[in-house]
Structure 1
Amino acid sequence: MGEVCEFRQWDELIPDALGLIFKNLSLKEILTVIPRICKSWGKTVRGPYCWQDIDIEQWSQNCEPETLDRLLHMLITRSSGSLHKLCVTGLPSDQSFSFIADHAKHLRSLKLPKSEISNSIVEKVAGRLSSISFLDLSYCKNIGAPALEAIGKNCRHLTWLRRAMHPLEVIDKLSQDDEALAIASTMPKLKHLEMAYLLISTESVLKILTNCPELEFLDVRGCWNVKLDDKYVKKFTQLKVIGPLVVGCCVMNGWDYFSDYSSSEHEMSFEDWEDYQGMEDVEMRFYDVFDFYRDAFDWPVSP
């Protein structure tokens, strides 16, 4: 009986299987190491198999706008219309958001904290985001009620919304009740809603509770004008409310509220990413950066 060969032809695995394996690697490894192993692996990382879920949130925190735009365009283009999830911090412009919307036919989860997008671009392209069910627009200081209303009217599958702000970002505003009312009037299927540190009133929150009957979780930490009567809230047996007092850190559905904290953030610098379609070799530098006062706290504690 002959010996059984245990050698596995990893380069002969179908691209779908390779893509599932490569998703467990870091962005650096996928873009700079894997393409140099063999041609079939290089072809896989240039195709859509690794880029249905794109999470560059941590890396983008310390990235120059031009560099972020270039990488984002490359990865979204590689997804070939199969993009399901996108997480990126500090989207630099309306043009970047429009590009995302152009490739959002199958996009279900979109996380864009600290982005520089405007009401006008959200109103313009919201119709292309109709498949989204999960949306994070926290710390996006240039948008307000018009953007939320456009999202609500066009994203009919939306069940999870994060619209938290930092107190210093709303210090010049008198009220954000219009944002709460836009949510109440256009997002009836919400199950999870975070509005930490918005300048909203009890009346606007009650409007949300009345118009969003499927709501299971409500975060109003730091919304000091909100006074919810315990007896009234208990009428919503499935509802969990946090706030307005800020009591600490909480994790829901894998999303850490202290999400800006990281003891090991990484930044990539590059001239061009390696690509057989004309892109040059990439030079990447990863180094640890930790700003305690910026990263350790998502929101300040109650006064």
Structure 2
Amino acid sequence: MEGESDLRRWDELIPDALGLIFRNLPLQEVLTVIPRVCKSWSKAVAGPYCWQEIDVEEWSNRCKPDHLDRILQLLITRSSGSLRKLCVSGLRSNMMFTFIAENAGSLQTLRLTRSEISDSVAEQIAGRLSAITFLDLSYCCKIGATALEAIGKHCKLLVGLCRNMHPLDTADKLSQDDEATVIATTMPKLKRLEMAYNVISTEGVLNIISSCSKLEFLDLRGCWDVKIDDKFMEGNFPNLKVLGPRVLDYYEINNWDDFSDYSDASEDLAWEILAGEMGDYDDDEIYNDGMYDGRLDELELRFYDGIDEDAGIYGWPPSP
């Protein structure tokens, strides 16, 4: 009996603790595996405890737009106003940008890479993003200085901005110095700024670094019109690290520094099925047994945590 009393019941952990634990698992497992373990875990997943940080950036790159919208609406709603971080790629719907902004009271980190947000939409929602400290608008081709100005005026806590572009997206642009001017005049607290492959001049860069006195890192890879004098920089801005404008290597171009989100074909299929199924269920019904009576029960789900030292680069470690 004494031995039994020392056993800990995981299903009796408070939801806050379960949320902290589940947050370290892949999103696919949290949605498809955890709710089936027991009622208390299913309840924890249905609450806001797991959804203060939502990262669907990798998955959204290969997801159908309507599925992506459904997933985001579901998860953001579950966060119940406690959302602190959101990473998503390829958003197309103006409705979703507005929905995110309406639930951004606690949002601090927002990544909207490759999204079709426009200047007019950015102006409409910028006022609701006042708590943002880090914003990634890389490869968003439909915005420019107008959007950045609205963001700079309303997001007074912003310390990090990513505005990287693809060379093909800026091939027809004569200059983006207007964006550099807006950044310099409205974002003085920036500590990190990424502007790879922007068409900006040396004057535009000097305007930024002289106005943003707290800047610690500046990415200028592929900004071929910029000429950096190393001695001048060391003498006047000793605390600022500048990367570029010369491109160093292929891996830095593609930011291949995180191998934790690789998946195989079975995971992709399961995730797509899940997204499709969610559109047919109310929020309260998603985790009922009925949802899993069909195709998902017949599908072998295999999820991977990434490459570990023992597995090397030749195989995937088994899911625990």
Aligned partner of residue 66 in structure 2, secondary structure: helix
Cα distance 1:232–1:80, how it changes in 2: closer, same or farther (>3 A)?
A: same
How far does the alpha carbon of each residue in 1:101-146 deviate from its partner, in whole angstroms, 9 at most, with x for none?
Answer: 1000010001111011111111111010001111111001111111
Cα distance 1:9–1:202, how it changes in 2: closer, same or farther (>3 A)?
A: same
Distance 1:15 1:264 in 2: 28
Aligned to 2:284: 277
Aligned to 1:173: 173
Distance 1:230 1:58 in 2: 37
Aligned partner of residue 7 in structure 1, secondary structure: coil
Identity %: 57
Distance 1:264 1:28 in 2: 11
User: What count of residue pairs does the alignment treat as equivalent?
Assistant: 284
Aligned to 1:292: none
Aligned to 2:185: 185
Structure 1 unmatched ranges of 5 or more: 289-303
Paired letter, 1:152: G
Aligned partner of residue 121 in structure 1, secondary structure: helix
Paired letter, 1:82: S
Query: Conserved in 2, the CA contact under 8 Å of 1:161 and 1:190?
Result: yes
How far does the alpha carbon of each residue in 1:56-76 deviate from its partner, in whole angstroms, 9 at most, with x for none?
Answer: 111111000000000000000
Q: 1:257 aligns with which of 248, 255, 258?
A: 255
TM-superposed CA distance for 1:243, in Å, is 0.8
Query: Conserved in 1, the CA contact under 8 Å of 2:74 and 2:283?
Result: no
Aligned to 1:245: 246
Distance 1:190 1:172 in 2: 28
How far does the alpha carbon of each residue in 1:256-289 deviate from its partner, in whole angstroms, 9 at most, with x for none?
Answer: 823698754753213333776133626668799x
Cα distance 1:158–1:250, how it changes in 2: closer, same or farther (>3 A)?
A: farther
Aligned to 1:225: 225
Paired letter, 2:291: D
TM-superposed CA distance for 1:96, in Å, is 1.1
Aligned to 1:113: 113
Aligned partner of residue 148 in structure 2, secondary structure: helix
Equivalences for residues 1-303 of structure 1 within 5 A: 2-234=2-234, 235-248=236-249, 257-258=255-256, 264=263, 267=268, 268-269=271-272, 270=274, 271-273=276-278, 277-279=284-286, 281=291
C-alpha RMSD of matched pairs (Å): 2.3
Distance 1:40 1:29 in 2: 16
Cα distance 1:228–1:8, how it changes in 2: closer, same or farther (>3 A)?
A: same
Distance 1:103 1:66 in 2: 19
Q: TM-score normalized by structure 1? A: 0.87
TM-superposed CA distance for 1:29, in Å, is 1.5
Paired letter, 1:76: I
Cα distance 1:207–1:2, how it changes in 2: closer, same or farther (>3 A)?
A: closer
TM-superposed CA distance for 1:91, in Å, is 1.3
Cα distance 1:259–1:171, how it changes in 2: closer, same or farther (>3 A)?
A: farther
Cα distance 1:219–1:27, how it changes in 2: closer, same or farther (>3 A)?
A: same
Mean Cα displacement is larger for which, 28-37 or 59-68? 28-37
